[in-house]
């Protein structure tokens, strides 16, 4: 996984994270082996993680990403309906925003995944709007919620309760803002790393564009398969990323829907023109 295109972060000699540098916006990242991943998600979580980033000079010391999140989000994004679910107005970094072209050191955010509405998430949300029975009255987990769009789509489609989960606390701030903008009550926010946890309490697990790295996708898919076997419905939105297409569990998935992406999304996600919704058979 490590290569010259990846930055690797170490703490006390342990590899804790690596960041591919060559994806759109250099936003793709994945975390290390299981133990480290769980350590970050459950115990040391983002504070230590951010300190490591700072010590590695990956984000400038003078910018504290934990102050004025909401002000920064509003200032650095624009409200957009230019995606597959125009029902939702979302604070996103678009081509009109300063950060679209800014250098990482000029950004108040470190790797703002939440500021983009990923093609897999768009397809998943579109599917929920078009198939409201999939979530109506159900208890939902939106795993890796980012801007929160899929969870919001579930809520508008009649979900009984939605937990918006993302290990990036700034994402949860963006979810709150997007909830307010769309007049949707946010039931529950979580920044816990749930991978490997029992999620039997959820009827439906929403997975919007989380399969962007082969090792990470393997961990996520094996966990999801177990949750499916225990009874949760797993809905995966994905634009045909290699990590899913090449995974052995792909043959256990059934395609529920296929959508053509909008031109602006195609531009942001070089190579992907469609996105799909999958569920385990």
Interacting residues toward ligand SAM by CB under 6 A: 41, 113-114, 117-118, 120-121, 143-147, 149-150, 165-168, 171, 193, 195, 208-210, 212
* Residue number, 140 or 210, with CB nearest to ligand SAM: 210
* Residue number, 20 or 146, with CB nearest to ligand SAM: 146
CB of 217 to ligand SAM, least distance (A): 11
Please report, for residues 5, 124, 228, the alpha-carbon distance to residue 206 in angstroms, rounded to integers and kept in the order given.
30, 8, 12
Q: Nearest residue by C-beta to ligand SAM? A: 121
- The CA distance from 155 to 56, in Å, is 40
Chain centroid, CA 14 distance in Å: 25
SS3 state at 236: strand
Phi-psi region of 256 (alpha: psi -120 to 50; beta: other; left: phi over 0): alpha
CB of 173 to ligand SAM, least distance (A): 12
* Residue number, 42 or 54, with CB nearest to ligand SAM: 42
CB of 160 to ligand SAM, least distance (A): 20
CB of 194 to ligand SAM, least distance (A): 6
- The CA distance from 5 to 19, in Å, is 8
* Residue number, 80 or 165, with CB nearest to ligand SAM: 165
CB of 38 to ligand SAM, least distance (A): 9
On whether the CB atoms of residues 19 and 111 are closer than 8 A, the answer is: yes
* Residue number, 31 or 251, with CB nearest to ligand SAM: 31
Burial label for 44, CB within 10 Å (0-12, 13-18, 19+), is middle
Closest Cα to residue 159, out of 204, 208, 207?
Answer: 204
């Amino acid at each position: 996984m490590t290569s010259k295109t990846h930055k690797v972060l170490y703490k006390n000699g342990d590899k804790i994270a690596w960041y591919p540098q060559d994806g759109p916006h250099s936003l793709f990242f994945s975390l290390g082996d299981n133990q480290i991943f769980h350590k970050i998600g459950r115990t040391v979580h983002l504070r230590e993680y951010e300190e490591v980033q700072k010590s590695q000079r990956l984000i400038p010391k003078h910018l504290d990403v934990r102050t004025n999140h909401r002000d920064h989000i509003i200032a650095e994004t624009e409200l957009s309906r230019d995606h597959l679910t125009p029902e939702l107005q979302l604070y996103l970094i678009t081509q009109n925003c300063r950060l679209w072209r800014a250098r990482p050191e000029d950004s108040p955010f470190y790797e703002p995944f939440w500021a983009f509405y990923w093609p897999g998430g768009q397809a998943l949300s579109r599917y929920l709007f078009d198939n409201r029975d999939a979530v109506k009255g159900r208890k939902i987990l939106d795993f890796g919620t980012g801007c929160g769009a899929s969870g919001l789509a579930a809520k508008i489609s009649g979900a009984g309760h939605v937990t918006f989960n993302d290990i990036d606390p700034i994402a949860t701030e963006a979810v709150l803002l997007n909830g307010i903008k769309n007049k949707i009550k946010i039931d529950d926010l979580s920044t816990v790393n749930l991978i490997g946890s029992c999620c039997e309490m959820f009827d439906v697990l929403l997975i919007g564009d989380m399969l962007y790295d082969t090792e990470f996708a393997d961990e996520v898919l094996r966990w999801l398969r177990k949750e499916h076997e225990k009874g949760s419905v797993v809905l995966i939105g994905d634009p045909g990323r290699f990590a899913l297409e090449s995974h052995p569990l792909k043959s256990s998935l059934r395609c529920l829907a296929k959508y053509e992406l909008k031109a602006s999304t195609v531009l942001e996600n070089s190579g992907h023109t469609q996105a799909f919704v999958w569920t385990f058979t």
